[in-house]
Amino acid sequence: MDCAYFDAGRCTSCALMGRPYPEQLAGKQAHAEALLAPFDVPVWMPAVASREDGYRNKAKMVVGGTVDAPTIGILDADGHGVDLEACGICSPGHRAAFPVLARFITLAGLTPYDVRRRTGELKHLIVTESPDGELMIRFVLRSTEPVPRLRKHLPTLLAELPHARVVTANVLPEHKAVLEGEHEIVLTEAATLPMRLNDVTMHLRPQSFFQTNTEIAAALYAEARDWIRDLAPDTAWDLYSGVGGFALHLADADGAGPEVTGIETSVEAVASAELSRSDAALSHLRFASGDATAFALGAAAGEAPDLVIVNPPRRGIGAELAGWLEASEVSHVLYSSCNAASLAKDLAAMPSLKPVRARVFDMFPQTTHFEVMVLLERRTLSVE
C-alpha cells in the first residue's frame, strides 16, 4: 500500500507504510515467535492476513482549521490541522462520510477547538462503520453549547448520510490528551450500532471498545470458538470481556455451550453485551461490570471455572491475576494479546500453564502492532 500523506511527511502514524505486505506479516510472525520462544510453543498456526487498506472500522479524527474550512485528521507539531480525509486505512464508508461531515461542521457552526488558545468547541470526530455499512458518528465537544445546533441541522446530515444510524454529542470539557469525555448525548432514535460478525450480532454503544479490524476480529472469534469447542468446558470466565465478542461466540442458543461469565470495567460495554445476550436469548451467559483481577481474587467468584479467557489491554493481565491463574485449578486459559511483550511477561509468571498452540492475527496492517492468541493447558511440573 502507498500513501501520499506518508510520502509527504504529513502523517507518519503507519510506521510500515510502503513496505511489502508479505514482508510485514512475516516480520510480525517472527517477532511473536521470538518473544514466545522461551515457552516452547509446539504449534504455530499460519498468521491470519488482513486486507492492506480500508481495514479500520473506527476512525478517530482530530478536527482543526476553521469553521468555514475545517480539517479532519490530525494536528501537526504546531497545533495546526492536517487534513487526512482520504486516509487509506480508513474504511470506504469513512472516506465517503468525511467530506459530508466537513460541510456539516460549517453548516452547524461547529468551531474547531484550538489547542493552543483553548478556544472553540469541536475537538474530535469518532466514526465507526458496521459490517453492514451503517455508521455511528460522535462529535466530541468542549461543552453542550453547540448541541442545539447539532439537533437543528441533524436532518440535513441524515439526508446526506442515510446510513448514519447513531449520532451523538460527547462532552469533553477538560483540556487534556484524551479522546472523549464521560457524558454522551444521543441525538438519534437508535443508540447502538449492530456489529454482525460470523453468526453473532453485537450491539455497540458509543463508548464501548470494539476490535479495530472487523474482518480480523471475526477470524479471531471464530478461531477461539473452534479451539474452545474442542475442549468442551462446562464453565468459563471471559475477563476483559468488552462487548462480549468471545463469550457470545461460545454460546449456543440451545444452551449447549458453557456457562460463561463476562467481566468488564466499562459500564457501556457491559450494557452492550447484555443487550446482545438478551436479543439472542442466551440464558447461560451473564455480564457484569468490574475489575478482572478483583473478580478472580474475590470470594464472590466461587469455584474456578474450567476455562478463563483473557483479552487485556497492552499492559497485560499483570502479576496478581497471573499469580491467581498459576495457583488456581483452571485447566485452560485462552490469552488474546495486543502486545506480545506483555504476553511473554505474563506467561513467565504462569509456568504450570503451557502453550498448546498460537496464532498471529494481523489486526493493524501498515503498523508494527498485531494480535496474537495462545491456548494454554495446565500441566503438572516435574520434580527433579
pLDDT digits (tens, 9 = 90+) for 184-229: 999 999 999 999 999 999 999 999 989 999 999 999 999 999 999 9
pLDDT for res 176? 86
Does residue 332 contact residue 358 with C-beta atoms inside 8 Å?
Answer: no
Does residue 254 contact residue 188 with C-beta atoms inside 8 Å?
Answer: no
Q: State the DSSP H helix or E strand holding residue 237, giving kind and residue range, or none if neither.
A: strand 235-239
**Sequential pLDDT tens for the chain (384 residues):** 999 999 999 999 999 999 999 999 999 999 999 999 999 999 999 999 999 999 999 999 999 999 999 999 999 999 999 999 999 999 999 999 999 999 999 999 999 999 999 999 999 999 999 999 999 999 999 999 999 999 999 999 999 999 999 999 999 999 988 999 999 999 999 999 999 999 999 999 999 989 999 999 999 999 999 999 989 999 999 999 999 999 999 987 566 779 999 999 999 999 999 999 999 889 899 999 999 999 999 854 568 999 999 999 999 999 999 999 999 999 999 999 999 999 999 999 999 999 999 999 999 999 999 999 999 999 875 544
Helix (H, G, I), strand (E, B) or coil at 255: coil
Does residue 292 contact residue 320 with C-beta atoms inside 8 Å?
Answer: no
Q: State the DSSP H helix or E strand holding residue 71, giving kind and residue range, or none if neither.
A: strand 70-75
Picking from 202, 212, 284, 214, the residue whose alpha carbon sits closest to that of residue 244 is 202
Picking from 221, 235, 236, 240, the residue whose alpha carbon sits closest to that of residue 289 is 240
Classify each residue of 191-227 as buried b or exposed e, where b means 16 or more C-beta atoms within 10 Å of its C-beta: bbbbbebeebbbbbbbbbbbbbbbbbbbbbbebbbeb
Tell me how far apart the alpha carbons of residues 372 and 80 are, in angstroms, rounded to a whole number: 37
According to DSSP, residue 301 is labeled G
Contacts of 238 (CB under 8 A, 6+ apart): 244, 246, 247, 250, 260, 261, 262, 263, 309, 311
Tell me how far apart the alpha carbons of residues 298 and 187 are, in angstroms, rounded to a whole number: 40
C-alpha to C-alpha distances, 23 to 19, 27, 29, 43, nearest whole angstrom: 7, 6, 10, 21
Residue 314 corresponds to which cell in the numbers above? 497492552
pLDDT for res 383? 47
- Cα-only R_g, the chain: 22
Q: Strand pairing partners for 74? A: 82
Alpha carbon dihedral 360, 364, 370, 372, in 10-degree steps, equals: -40
Tell me how far apart the alpha carbons of residues 100 and 4 are, in angstroms, rounded to a whole number: 22
The 10s digit of each residue's pLDDT in 303-350 is 899 999 999 999 999 999 999 999 999 999 999 999 999 999 999 999
Contacts of 122 (CB under 8 A, 6+ apart): 63, 70, 105, 110, 111, 112, 113, 139, 140, 141, 142, 146
Helices (H), the chain: 4-7, 21-35, 92-107, 147-160, 214-231, 245-250, 267-279, 292-297, 318-327, 340-348
Residue with cell 499483570: 318
Q: In this structure, is the dihedral angle defined by the CA atoms of residues 43, 44, 46 and 47, taken in order, positive or negative?
A: positive
Active site residue 338: yes
Burial class (CB in 10 A: 0-12, 13-18, 19+), 229: middle
pLDDT for res 255? 60
Q: Which of 3, 14, 90, 338 is catalytic?
A: 338
SS (H, E, C) 78-89: CCCEEECCCCCC
